[in-house]
Amino acid sequence: MSVIFERLELLAERIRAQHPIDSYRVFHGRGQTFPGLEFVTIDFFQPAILVTLFAEPTENWLDALLAKSRLLFNENQTALLVQRRYLAGAPSELCFGALPEQCYARRGHLQFSLHLAQQQNSGFFLDMEPGRTWLEQHAQGKRILNLFAYSCAFSVVAVAAGAELVVNVDMSSAALNLGRSNHQRNSLDKARSEFLAENILKSWGRIKKRGPYDLVIIDPPSYQKGSFIAEKDYAKVIRRLLELMPEGGLVLACLNSPELGEGFLRQVFTENCPAAEFVERLQPHKDFPDVDPEQQLKLLIYKLPSQA
């Protein structure tokens, strides 16, 4: 517990400095590098501290955390939420402070809408930062396809970094509406982003029509019944890459499944798109340590040759 208190004390010092703070993971227990604290993560989305519990803590554990937090933080400036993922519906409870009507994740000059205390996921995944940083460095002038776009954070970063066009595809219209609002929030050129509410595995014709693409992002759920199951469906996406990118280009392939390692994804490419050249695996963000790299978020970069 002492390591959590130390992290919260550092956060309190940063808040007192009164500078805008980029959203970040304050404490990551899920990687099993802190024995006895595997059940908890803590994120900061100024002004909200989000404590996520993946199992019921021991008696008085949460009381001690809240007591310490009340000493460290001004409730007029900071709110603390507890989400209980181990309960049905992942209910959230506001333990102190007040949430603004709209909360945002902050990344430098960019902001992303959140739905804290409303859904299981906040709407912005902090562990994906190595992917966003890589994209920022490669987006200039590119036509980009963002598959499984969710709230379109990749698109916001790419358009802000000078992408010619980003086509965002997701089967959830609600997620894409959040994506549109994220682009509007950051005053981005509307002409440089498109939003397609489609079942990706059944809509290749409409997706291909917006191409060809220079860069493809694949960031699917690892298991979403009735939508996408990585173990059998990832290959269906990889098989389409050459027709989506006839002039070649780069692929950012993401896999967030502790059960499926890097070897699984590399094998999928070898079997379904042998022309793709493996470039690198992006290093996980330092805020997300893990005892086993195979359980961490996998972000693989591939390069496709021109088919001309």
- pLDDT tens, residue by residue, 138-154: 999 999 999 999 999 99
Q: What is the distance between the alpha carbons of residues 36 and 12, in angstroms, rounded to a whole number? A: 24
Do residues 99 and 75 touch, judged by C-beta distance below 8 A? no
- Residue 79 pLDDT more than 80? yes
pLDDT band at 308 (very low <50, low <70, confident <90, very high): low
> Which residues, 6 or more positions from 89, have their beta carbon under 8 angstroms from its beta carbon?
none
104-135: per-residue pLDDT in tens? Answer: 999 999 999 998 876 677 889 999 999 999 99
Scanning the structure block, which residue is given the tokens 């893990």?
Answer: 290
The DSSP code sequence of 63-127 is HHHHHHHHHHS-TTT-EEEEEETTSTT--EEEEES---SS-EEEETTEEEE--TTTSSS-S--GG
pLDDT at 233 over 80: yes
CA atoms within 13 A of residue 70's CA, in its CB half-sphere: 9
What is the pLDDT averaged over residues 264-272?
Answer: 97
Q: What is the pLDDT of residue 255?
A: 95
User: What integer is the mean pLDDT of 154-172?
Assistant: 97
Query: Within 10 Å of residue 34's Cβ, how many Cβ atoms?
Result: 16
Quote the pLDDT of residue 1: 80
Place of tokens 């001004």: 74
Average pLDDT of the residues in 180-193: 97
* Beta strand 48-53 pairing with 79-84: parallel
**pLDDT for the residue 228:** 86
Is residue 307 pLDDT above 90, yes or no?
A: no
Query: Is the model's pLDDT at 191 over the cut of 90?
Result: yes
> Strand 24-28 and strand 48-53: pairing?
unpaired
User: Which tokens belong to 115?
Assistant: 């739905």
Residue 230 CA to residue 31 CA, distance in Å, equals 21
CA max distance for the chain: 66
- Per-chain mean pLDDT for the chain: 94
pLDDT digits (tens, 9 = 90+) for 246-267: 999 999 999 998 899 999 999 9
46 token code pair? 């100024």
Average pLDDT of 28-37? 95
Confidence of residue 223 (pLDDT cuts 50, 70, 90): low
The reported pLDDT for the residue numbered 221 is: 84
215 and 266 in contact (C-beta within 8 Å)? no
Measured between alpha carbons, how far is 152 from 169 in angstroms, rounded to an integer?
A: 9
| Beta strands 40-45 and 277-281, pairing class | unpaired
Q: Cα dist. 280→169, 249, 289, 299, 303 in Å?
A: 25, 15, 19, 9, 10
pLDDT at 226: 67
Q: Quick one: which of 211, 259, 253 has its CA closest to 235?
A: 253
Could you tell me which of 94, 73, 52 has the C-alpha nearest to residue 5? 73
Q: What is the pLDDT of residue 139?
A: 98
Calpha distance 78→80 (Å, rounded): 7
Confidence at 172, pLDDT banded by 50, 70, 90: very high
181-218 burial string, b = 16+ CB within 10 Å, else e? ebbeebebeeebbebbbbebeeebeebeeebebbbbbb
Q: What pLDDT shows up at residue 170?
A: 95
What is the predicted pLDDT for the residue at 121?
A: 78
Mean pLDDT value of segment 213-240? 89
Q: What is the mean pLDDT of residues 23-31?
A: 96
Please report the pLDDT score of residue 210 as a whole number.
Answer: 93
